[in-house]
A and B are shown apart, each in its own frame.
Chain A
Amino acid sequence: QVQLQQWGAGLLKPSETLSLTCAVYGGSFSGYYWSWIRQPPGKGLEWIGEINHSGSTNYNPSLKSRVTISVDTSKNQFSLKLSSVTAADTAVYYCAREAGYTYYYYYMDVWGKGTTVTVSS
């Protein structure tokens, strides 16, 4: 049973860089895309970006200039960095595994528990 364990700093000041890591346990790391998704308080889900085991990335254009997603295949981990954060970046951040028979038809079948990130001066 695949499990995702995520961690990172929960309180940031404006202009700092958000940094989160997600570790994959109990299943294959290669052959999948791995996503970051966020949910502002009381709001819906927003896809941030994704990476596969080879390091190929895709980002949401609305965040692309500030986002970097990287992978460490030796540890079965992937990470999110979001620079120049503001209060608008306050959200619960989730990591998730993408699955499906082919790209464009993927769904998120395994999710981390989420990390609450608050941006406040």
Chain B
Amino acid sequence: QSVLTQPPSVSGAPGQRVTISCTGSSSNIGAGYDVHWYQQLPGTAPKLLIYGNSNRPSGVPDRFSGSKSGTSASLAISGLQAEDEADYYCQSYDSSLSVWVFGGGTKLTVL
């Protein structure tokens, strides 16, 4: 099982807002390490979506936002579009394991 826990799937209608949670522990998110988010479109490599908990790389629409509190983080996507249908992964550092850790991934379906 993944060190960071994400819901396997979420869905929403076009135009709606969805959130994806990422729950960790005191050795990763709770220890203060940043959470980063990636979007993986079908058949492609992951793409950096959010870094440092809430920062968007150049070119990422402001419909995507991230936040972190305690041992959890969240990715919010507003104004859902069909092109947002993808897998989303959170990532952080775990000091107990001394590794970069990923969540198990969440499949977003746009209804």
Q: How far, in whole Å, are A46 and B97 apart by their CA atoms in the complex?
A: 13
Q: Which of A69-121 contact B (CB under 8 A)?
A: 94, 100, 104-109, 111-114
Alpha-carbon distance A50/B98, docked complex (angstroms): 12
Q: Does A114 lie within 8 Å of B100, measured CB to CB?
A: no
> Out of A45, A50, A113, A114, which one reaches B89, CB within 8 Å?
A45
Q: Which of A61, A106, A107, A111 contacts B98 (CB 8 A)?
A: A61
Contact B45 A112 (CB under 8 A): yes
Query: For residue B6, which residue of chain A has the nearest CB?
Result: A44
Number of interface residues of B (CB under 8 A): 26
Chain B residues packing against A (C-beta within 8 Å): 2, 33-34, 36, 38, 44-48, 51-52, 57, 89, 91, 93, 95, 97-105
Task: Check A47 for interface membership: any CB of B closer than 8 A.
Answer: yes
Residues of A within 8 A of B48 (CB): 107-109
Which residues of chain A have C-beta atoms less than 8 A from B104's C-beta?
A: 44
Task: Please judge, given known A-B contacts A47-B102, A61-B99, whether A108 and B91 are in contact too, CB under 8 Å.
Answer: yes
Partner of A108, one of B44, B46, B98: B46
For residue A58, CB closer than 8 A to chain B, the reply is yes
In the complex, A84→B89 CA distance in Å? 29
Are A94 and B100 interface neighbours, CB within 8 A?
Answer: no
Min CB distance, B5 to chain A, in Å? Answer: 11
A107 to B102, CA, bound (A): 11
Whether B45 pairs with A111 at a CB distance below 8 angstroms is yes
Complex CA–CA separation, A67 to B105 (angstroms): 25
B47 contacts A111, C-beta separation under 8 Å: yes
* A107 close to B52 (CB less than 8 A): yes
